[in-house]
Amino acid sequence: MSWAEKAADRSPAVRRTRSRSMQQASLILDAAHRLVLQKGDAFTTQELVKEAGVALQTFYRYFASKDQLLLAVFAEMIAAGCVRSVEDARDLPDPIARLRHYVTSTLRSLDAEGDDKAMARFIVSTHWRLQQNFPEEMAEAVRPFAALLLGEIRKGMAAGELRPADPERAAWFINELVRSVYHHYAYAQQPPATLPDDLWAFCLSALGGSPA
């Protein structure tokens, strides 16, 4: 289910107004995305409802707080990024190439400008505050990237190219490592040019793969 669907399901009148509820929840989420790109998480609830064109009570029908809305925006950004990564890697020839793409493209996005840069800074600045308040929901929000990694790790093992002792744990560690490096450099003026490839070499070695 999308976050719009999850939010709509919280409405008491969902059975008779599901279509309208979905539309309103989507309006709120779309408005939040736009404001995040403009202001990060520094917008007010009043600014949000004005941007979305809904009443304040409509907002609270779907989201108990602004933080819950930001959690939804965060989760949708992660999910959308994973979808883009899969589409971009669709024509790569093998699981190792796709795995490398997932790791390196995440860090190369740090060089982007405009909306991509704003999105990166929102993710970093908001992550740990949301983690404190919604640990289970945040674990679920970042799980799609780890799932991408795990799928390719298992395919690499089946091909005899990777040899991690525990593929699930390896995917979790790589997910955490990529995120930590991403967070560290999100506000840097210019990350080292070799950073994505250096991190990939480290991950490949940890997975028991060969640089060749």
| Contacting residues for 73 by C-beta, under 8 A, at least 6 apart | 3, 29, 32, 33, 36, 122
The residue count of the chain comes to 212
Domains of the chain: 1-64 (1.10.10), 66-212 (1.10.357.10)
| Closest to 130 in 3D by CA, of 188, 171, 84, 78 | 78
* pLDDT tens digits along 116-129: 777 878 888 888 88
Question: Does 59 have pLDDT greater than 60?
Answer: yes
- Confidence band of 115 (pLDDT split at 50, 70, 90): confident
The model's pTM: 0.81
Band (pLDDT 50/70/90 cuts) for residue 210 is confident
